[in-house]
Amino acid sequence: MAIVNETNGVALKPDDAIINSLHPSVEAKIDPQVKAIYMKYQATRLRADQVTYEEFNADRARYIFPRDKVASPFCPVGSVEMHTVPVSEPPGEIDVRIYRPTTGESAKEKLPAYVNFHGGGFVLGGLDDDDPLCRQLCKNTPSIVANVAYRLAPKFPHPVSHTDSWAALQWLVSKADELGIDVNRIAIGGLSAGGCLAAALAQMALKTKYMPPLVLQVLIVPVTDACYVPLVAPKNEAEAAALNTPYDSYRTCCFAPMLPLERLVWFYLPWLGTDAATHAKNAADVRASPIKAPDSDLVGLAPATLHVAEIDPLRSEAEAYHKRLTAVGTKSQIKIYKGMVHPFAQWDGQLDKGKELVVDITTALKVAFGLESE
């Protein structure tokens, strides 16, 4: 027989124990669908950031949220192929998975392309994380989608994730004819860490003469400023309120489900460095904090579309980056999804606003590719 937790009305098995309850500072603001998913799949298990990296790495399945339970149904596309791309900093190889749509167009006609960089705090994640999204975007735009598996910390700390991703983008452009990509219709984007990479690459592409102009940057719950996540996470609301940061959501969403500030600390230490000086230097690098770019590097950037969760410590820095872009005349749109938490984009199988997000991104890409009017 199931019992009911009177706090949230979610039925639990008798052997289920709540390990991670919703924090009272944010619980009332959370969408009921998000709450139901959280209580079913996360409340009874530890997150990766609640153990050491070594403990997590020894039994990853125990600590990784089961995205497959809440992702959208399998979306078939025309074909999927894997490519190996050489990288040089340090030397090695990374994988790029390419999705092709089924279209009635001539096989010789070049298609627009969307280049995706997955999330995971620069420490976790891989090609399968965004597979459902990539498939939907490929089919529904339609376009070629390239999904990039950059190397991860702690083995490959900053700036390897960026240099790998840049190498992948350069490779795609250099192979555009062979891959059937229209170089005048390339968009880039990603979720969380992937959004940071996309924002930084958009800046680099603008300054690189041989790189064709990008048509859109899709920034989903992005990291835009790594400078204000502390080396030690606040333990209570008083410590959160005392944080030295221009971003109010660090304080108000410090204990957000799925991505509390504690989790950001766990990600940023292996990514940016464990000693204070190295950490601060790397965090100030525009490749880790795109918002630190001077105005001159933001003028003329590809248009941006930002999609942000309300209950997310990263919300305020996304809003700040949007304001930086619009202040210099770069086109930018932002949408904040009420009641949502950081990974809501990957919960679109059970979450109405996750489905809404996918439609929003699809529409933005179709407009950028000239396939639909605004």
How large is the C-alpha radius of gyration of the chain?
Answer: 20
Q: How many domains does the chain have?
A: 1
Task: Decide if 295 is catalytic.
Answer: no
Q: Looking at the domain assignment, is residue 373 inside a domain?
A: no
Q: Looking at the domain assignment, is residue 84 inside a domain?
A: yes
Q: Looking at the domain assignment, is residue 35 inside a domain?
A: no
Which listed residue (161, 342, 348, 360) is catalytic? Answer: 342
Query: Which amino acid, residue 225?
Result: D
Contact 70, 351 (CB under 8 A): yes
Distance of CA 57 to the CA centre of its chain: 21
Q: Is residue 239 exposed (0-12), middle (13-18) or buried (19+ Cβ within 10 Å)?
A: middle
Q: Looking at the domain assignment, is residue 330 inside a domain?
A: yes
**Distance of alpha carbon 180 from alpha carbon 173, whole angstroms:** 10
**3-class secondary structure, 225:** coil
Distance of CA 245 to the CA centre of its chain: 22
Q: What is the DSSP letter of 302?
A: P
Which CATH number goes with the domain that contains 364?
Answer: 3.40.50.1820
What is the pLDDT tens value at each position of the chain, 374 positions in all?
333 343 344 444 444 789 999 999 999 999 999 999 999 999 999 999 999 999 999 999 999 999 999 999 999 999 999 999 999 999 999 999 999 999 755 456 899 999 999 999 999 999 999 999 999 999 999 999 999 999 999 999 999 999 999 999 999 999 999 999 999 999 999 999 999 999 999 999 999 999 999 999 999 999 999 999 999 999 999 999 999 999 999 999 999 999 999 999 999 999 999 999 999 999 999 999 999 999 999 999 999 999 999 999 999 999 999 999 999 999 999 999 999 999 999 999 999 999 999 999 999 999 999 998 88
Q: Looking at the domain assignment, is residue 204 inside a domain?
A: yes
**Distance of alpha carbon 138 from alpha carbon 141, whole angstroms:** 6
Give the residue from 148, 134, 290, 147 showing the smallest Cα distance to 206.
290
- Identify any residues that bridge with 145 across adjacent strands, giving them in sequence order: 99, 114
What would the two tokens of residue 27 be? 């619980």
What would the two tokens of residue 164 be? 């790998």
Which listed residue (161, 192, 289, 332) is catalytic? Answer: 192
Query: Helices 276-284 and 261-272, interaxial angle, to 10°?
Result: 90
What's the pTM value of the predicted model, to 2 decimals?
0.94
Task: Decide if 128 is catalytic.
Answer: no
Q: What is the DSSP letter of 254?
A: T
| pLDDT value, residue 130 | 98
What would the two tokens of residue 103 be? 């279209």
| pLDDT value, residue 8 | 43
Task: Decide if 165 is catalytic.
Answer: no
Contact 371, 54 (CB under 8 A): no
| pLDDT value, residue 269 | 98
Q: Looking at the domain assignment, is residue 2 inside a domain?
A: no
C-alpha to C-alpha distances, 242 to 25, 234, 314, nearest whole angstrom: 15, 9, 17
| pLDDT value, residue 374 | 80
| pLDDT value, residue 264 | 98
| pLDDT value, residue 277 | 98
Contact 79, 108 (CB under 8 A): no
What would the two tokens of residue 349 be? 């199988």
Q: Looking at the domain assignment, is residue 255 inside a domain?
A: yes
Contact 236, 322 (CB under 8 A): no
Give the residue from 355, 255, 374 showing the smallest Cα distance to 307.
355
DSSP for 13-24 reads -TT---SSPPPT
Q: What is the DSSP letter of 34?
A: H
Q: Looking at the domain assignment, is residue 81 inside a domain?
A: yes
**Distance of alpha carbon 12 from alpha carbon 37, whole angstroms:** 12
Domain that holds residue 145: 69-229+240-368
DSSP for 129-185 reads TTHHHHHHHHHHTT-EEEEEE---TTTS-TTHHHHHHHHHHHHHHHTHHHHTEEEEE
Which listed residue (164, 312, 348, 360) is catalytic? Answer: 312
Contact 304, 331 (CB under 8 A): yes
